[in-house]
Every structure is written in structure tokens, then in C-alpha cells.
Structure 1
Amino acid sequence: MVSSMTSPAEIDAGTPEDAAAAEVENALGRLIERGYKFVHPRDAQGEIISVVGVRVHGTVVDVVRLDAEDEVTAMRMPADEVDVLAPTTLLWRREGHIREVVDALLELPDSSASQSLSRGATGRGCWVSGPRGRAKWLRATA
């Protein structure tokens, strides 16, 4: 019995779009594993304009916004920031290609809960749904 083998020349490497999609999927998976929660801000017509991941830990909030695989912005801000989508204070920021930005973001040290308690900061809050699929981060005040 002869088994059928595939030569390297017969293996389809995929299209550039396939490679980009796999890279985005990989980056999103890494962020999810680290505890990021995602929302999808929409325009007035309800179309998704970006994918936004948020992770609150200790005294900081980390936010990553994906507009395209080469248009990614990641930020770290204090946990008491009022609007995490348009912060007034940034502790760290990086823009660029998804792989570089996500790698740099995930390399940042975690903020410990003990720092949060000692400084009196709180990173608590939640996403509240709005009209046409829009969402807004509301910081807990108590």
C-alpha cells in the first residue's frame, strides 16, 4: 500500500490576507489569555469602527485599540482615569503593527493589587451599552 504524501511545493502557504488574519487572531488570543475584555465601538450607523480590549489590574488600566493590523494603539493609564477611550493621563503608549504593539504591551509589568490598596486607587468599573451598539466605560465611584 502506497500512502499519498504532499510535497512542500503542493502546500498552499495561504494568501497575505490569511496571514494577517492569523496574526490578528493570535494577538487577540494572547490578550484574552491575559484577561482583556473586548468591546466593539460603532459609528452612528452601527458599523464597527475598531476592536478595543481593556484590562484593569491594580492601579492601572491597559487599553489596546485595533483599527487594522498595522494601526494598533496600546495605552496604560491610572485606574482612576475617567474615560479610558480618551484618557487625559497616560503612563505608557505605543502605536504601530499589531505584533509589535501587543508584544510591548504584554511585556509591561503587572500592577499589583497591594499597590492599589496602599494608594487608595480603584480600577473598578464596567462597560455600559448604549444606542446602536456603542459602549462606554463607567468608573465605579464607590
Structure 2
Amino acid sequence: MGSIRRTGSPAPGMFIRYVLFAVLATLANLLTQEASIRFAPGAPLSFSILMGTAAGFILKYVLDKKWVFEDAYAGHRRELHKIGLYGAFSVLTTLVFWGFEIAFWTIWQTDLAKYTGAVLGLAVGYTAKFLLDRSFVFKERQA
């Protein structure tokens, strides 16, 4: 059977799980960065950032696939395609987040403005990513 795109509103629990898993992935990212710094103190900063990003990305993808979108395994090729799309949407929505943060800092030049922009950017970015993932990465299976 083929797949169809979800067109209705998501169940509230689905989006709540998505946000909760975003928090868990962020914690995994930060903890992995800290562990990388402690276990490889001579490594460049980029090493800890890369390790943290990889840990957060992998955890978020697996949690979203299984517990948010209930997406079945579709073979190696299809899974690689999904991971590629998921990653591309992650980059796109990160640019949205950074855009808000930088714009708020540029306009008001205060820490409060910077963090307000960051929070708004994250909210917009995660909402957009959820909708993109739901529509293009993890498509609903037909009954």
C-alpha cells in the first residue's frame, strides 16, 4: 500500500511528545558535549559540538520516528532518504531560530532581546519542523 499525507490537525499528544523529545535531544546534545570535553580535553571545540549534535540528532530522529509519528521501517534506501530530509529540515529550521535570535539582538542589543528572539525562533522553528516532518518525512500509512 502507498502512503498518504496527513492533512488534519495533529493530536495534541503528538505535538507534546515532539516538544518533549526536543528537550531530551537538547539535553543529550549538551551532556554529550560536556562528556566530550571531559574525556578529550585536548580536542578542538568543534569536536564536542559535532559529537553533541550527532547525539541529539540521532536520539530525536529515533524518538520521533517511533513515538511521535509511529513510522514503520521501510528499507535501507527509504530510511536514508527520510534521514536526509529530516536533516535538511533540521538545518532549515535552525536557520529560522538563528535568524530570530540575531534579529532581536541587532534591533534591541540586549541579552533579554537575544534570548526572547531565541525562544520565539525555537517555537517557530520547532512548529515548522513538526509540520514538515509530518508532511514529508514520516507520512501516515493507509489503513
Q: If the length of structure 2 is used for normalisation, what is the TM-score? A: 0.25
Q: Which has the higher helix share?
A: 2
Higher RCO, 1 vs 2 (CA within 8 Å, ≥6 residues apart): 2
Q: Which is higher, the Rg of structure 1 or of structure 2?
A: 1
